[in-house]
Amino acid sequence: MNSIGASYKPDATGTDPKQTGSVPSLKLNDGNEIPMIGYGLGTANYKKGQDSKLDQRIIDNTITAIKAGYIHLDGAEAYNNEEELGIAIKKSGVPREKLFVTTKTSCSPGVTVEQAFNVSLKKLGLDYVDLYLIHSPFWAKSPKDLQEKWAEMETIKESGRARSIGVSNYIQEHLEATLETARIPPAINQIEFHPYLQHGDLLEYQRKKNIAVAAYGPLTAITKAAPGPVDGIYKSLATKYGVTEAEIALRWTLDLGIVALTTSSNEQRLKSFLRDLPSFKLTPKEVEEIAEAGKKKHFRVFWTHAIAPDDRR
């Protein structure tokens, strides 16, 4: 296996993490750290509409993930499951301070960030979150809207109730508008990211601005976009390293210096990710090979109503 030195702390500049005995954390631009593998409560674990009935399946899935070793938990107001996440945290028996909890605001019309955040904290049953994100920029009608909402986010961080603040689904123009007036830059931008959606120059821009990247949908090339040009590469590398193709996809994400989120509810798969991902590392040539092959196909799963089908940003 490709073994690389142990003691290293990756950060938002994009330098890949070294091989260690466990999944590393990434240092954000505000000095806080985020575990580079997270359990996402979106996709398979969200409630449609405004259903207020507790979903025991979501609670159980989340407890399973926590007990499997996932301390980074990614939720959102829009998933309508913050209450389930909060219950799972309490029932897991893992001390709150050992967990990294993320939630997001949808920036609903007529609702301030303060109001949305207070509702989220109440549903979660927490005094603070580790990361609070603006879920998307597509509600904004102008750069000024983005700037004003970001100023509200800064107030939340300064109150200490969100250790870090960031954004989600932003492309470069949204980040540029936000940074024009920001006193505190976003710590992270969470985006759909996989070989078939690499967002052009966005990663390079964020690295220059020291804004970290988190990827949701990192397994899309396997789960939703197959067949495709990376299939053979994934298969060959999985054989070489004695892991699954899904683990190759996740390791590729990590080796780009990107936080990876999984929504799997399969206990054995969740455990294998945490067991196997620290045990190997792709070579720079292998990372580049996957990236170059991925550029031959364009595939986007989320936000297709807001972004043109041929827009690769």
Let me know: does 129 contact 103? Beta carbons within 8 Å: yes
Active site residue: 72, 135, 174, 194, which one?
A: 135
- Residue in 39, 70, 79, 234 annotated catalytic: 79
Map residue 5 onto helix, strand or coil: coil
Q: Establish whether 241 is a catalytic residue.
A: no
Tokens of 185: 């830059």
Tokens linked to 40: 């996402």
CA dist 75 and 81 (Å) reads 7
Q: Check: CB of residue 167 under 8 Å from CB of residue 189.
A: yes
According to DSSP H, which parts of the chain are helical? 56-68, 82-92, 113-124, 143-158, 172-181, 202-208, 220-223, 231-241, 245-255, 267-276, 284-294
Whether residue 79 lies in the annotated active site: yes
- On whether the CB atoms of residues 114 and 156 are closer than 8 A, the answer is yes
Q: H or E element: which one contains 188?
A: strand 188-192
Question: How many residues are given for the chain?
Answer: 313
Counting beta carbons within 10 angstroms of the beta carbon of residue 244, is it exposed (0 to 12), middle (13 to 18) or buried (19 or more)?
A: middle
**Distance (Å, rounded) from C-alpha 11 to C-alpha 285?**
21
Q: How many angstroms separate the CA atoms of 175 and 186, rounded?
A: 8
Give Cα 146 to chain centroid, integer Å: 21
Other beta carbons within 10 Å of 182: 17
CA distance 254 to 256: 5
Closest by Cα among 116, 96, 115, 114 to 104:
116
Catalogue the active-site residues.
79, 135
